[in-house]
Structure 1
Amino acid sequence: MQSTDRWPGIAVGLSPKLLDHVQAVTFHPATGQLDLRPDSPVYATQLRLITPRIVAAANESAGTDVMRTVRVLPVGTSPAPRVMEPAPAAIPEAPVKTRESASEGYRQALAAHQSAAYPSRVNPSIRAAVERQTKAMRELSARAFPSRSQRRTVSQPRSPQPVFSIAANPRPPVPWRCTVPGRNAPPGRLVRQPLLPILPRCVRRREHGHDL
């Protein structure tokens, strides 16, 4: 038993009023020190004066020499001992409900709710107008930006003429009329003049006789 538990008997043996004005706070077994807190300076002074008597009475009550000194704490009242409240019992966690763990009735109700077709709230005339506008916009977009297949259908590129067909059907020679200053050929007659120092002015004629 600690000296704080024996303090009521020790205090009454020293003075009948000491127990009402002095409280034993702590006892340190390693150092043999007993901490006492008086409620007034008068009793603080009295404790310092009767310290040897307190030590002797405590050792006589315990039957050993465990107490060696008394420390007088500042005047005041010690707080009431704190009562440790028991920790609240842990509340078991409720199982998490999912669609997989739901009851069969809940699954049936959910399936019926998802499969139900709700009537549309859009005015039929407004819906028809929106559909016509969408169709017209698609047609305008197709005309303005035709696809590659549509462009090929509208204007097919002309395939180039093979080389062998050009060689098989050569163009007829183009007649030439050469006029040299001072030398004019008779009308309707083609004359080829030799190359002169002064280059002639040549005009190519087609077969029908018109100048280019």
Structure 2
Amino acid sequence: MNVRAVRVLAPAPVKAGPATAAATPAPQPAMPAVVERRTPPGGYRRVIEAHRQAARPSLADPAIAEAVVRQTTAMRGLSRRAFLEPDIIRDDALAPIEQARAERRRQAAAPEAAALRRARAERVARKGQGVDGVIGKAAGASQLGRTA
């Protein structure tokens, strides 16, 4: 943002009391004369021109732009390998976090299910029937010694 002109305004006169301030409106300060813009001196123009010539060239160098594209492509490839995600997810499929939660619930329920199976097998064995319906010792008695 360049400053083109600065206007210095005189302070407004202060009234003695609220009655006089309400009675007469404050006089508006006179508009200062418009300051004409002078042509900058020759030395100033020479310095500006030297600065423009010495300014860094833009980074739109094609070789740099091509290197940036190659680097971005390589980084995206590494990211895809590091953080595997399916390319296509069906609309009715669970999100990856939901899939992980469901898997954890199944894993947590597995010991409970195994304990229930073992309790049923032991109950059947106590009644005198085998797990497979054979009378006497349970046919799967060797399995009862194992834990889930």
Q: State the TM-score, normalized to the length of structure 1.
A: 0.22
Q: State the TM-score, normalized to the length of structure 2.
A: 0.28
Structure having the larger proportion of residues in helix: 2
Query: Whose Rg is larger?
Result: 1
Structure having the larger proportion of residues in strand: 1
